[in-house]
Structure 1
Amino acid sequence: MKKKSDQELLALVLRSQFSRVAERNVREIVEAAKAELSLTDIAYERLMAGIELGRRVAEAKANYNERLTSTHKAVAFCRLHFARLIAEGLQEEFHVVTLDTKLRMINSHQITVGTLDASLVHPREVFRPAIKDASSSILLAHNHPSGDPTPSREDRRVTEQLTEVGKLIGISVLDHIILGREDCVSIREHGPTF
């Protein structure tokens, strides 16, 4: 089957090639409110079902058995695993991915949901699921609702604090990935913590 454009796929899902929605790009559609799309209830449900199905297929394709042995692999993992948060996150969310001794994912845990521009995180909440999962290391991730993945001073401070706590309890912090709209950034790769 020939690869179809976004507009052709939207026309198929909506069963209409004349829809104004088909003139928009996918990001505009995902971010648009129902009223902005001028769709009937059934067409809107069909569109949302198609988007959700696409997300689930992408998540199912994610290779969670891959070892996160480099910054590049950790960033690629987060880009896929947290795709929904990257695309739709309106508030800052802090997540912990627990890893086994081979650096493969055990589980993923949402720790906090913050305000529009802040997320308070405490080491107790971060390491509780890590201890419960008997993980040997963790990967930290949080989104910046602004879309800019540049680590803030507070991001660096939290990473340093959690790294030190991890050393005390024997669970290493592999990295801290900041999730932005167009890019994801590793704090470990982005330079010194202060």
Structure 2
Amino acid sequence: MKCLLLFVALAMAIPEDLNSTLMAIRRLHEKTGYSTFYEVFGVPESTSIDAIKKLYQRMMKRPTPIPGIEKREDAVALLTEAYNILKNKKSTYDFILANPYLYVGSKENFRNNLYVIIISIIVGLLALDLTYFGVRYLVFMARPRKTPSKKGVKSSKESVPSTITVNVLRSIKSLIKR
């Protein structure tokens, strides 16, 4: 029972970390020209958290911690958020950077989803069309062939396989009509 509760708590916490990190990235892009939090500190992604902590403390002592942001309060808030994410949620942040298609709230995602929906509708219509005409073809092929006999009497006796095929196709047709 304890394991189940722990699993549920972890399952609920993971999306929260992901969402909060994505929101922080969105705020970074809106307020600055930087694309990652590593660029804010001017370090590569492989930098240790101790080096980032020293840079954070050094930048906090400046009158303008982040160039390009005029208000010190905004710059301090963004810098603190960047440091906290790199300190506490580095694995989540690196996962987001490694997966560029993960931006949940971006407009590109909605455009991509629209393309997927349109392509799915087209494929579905093609499959329906192929099924419909395939059934009609099988019904056509299952019809008994009327060949004139020598005496002029037409035989309308169907073979056993064609009778079974016709019955199956009629049941499929009745299901489609419903």
Q: Please indicate the TM-score interval, normalised by the length of the shorter structure.
A: under 0.3
Which structure's residues are more often strand, by fraction? 1
Which structure's residues are more often helix, by fraction? 2
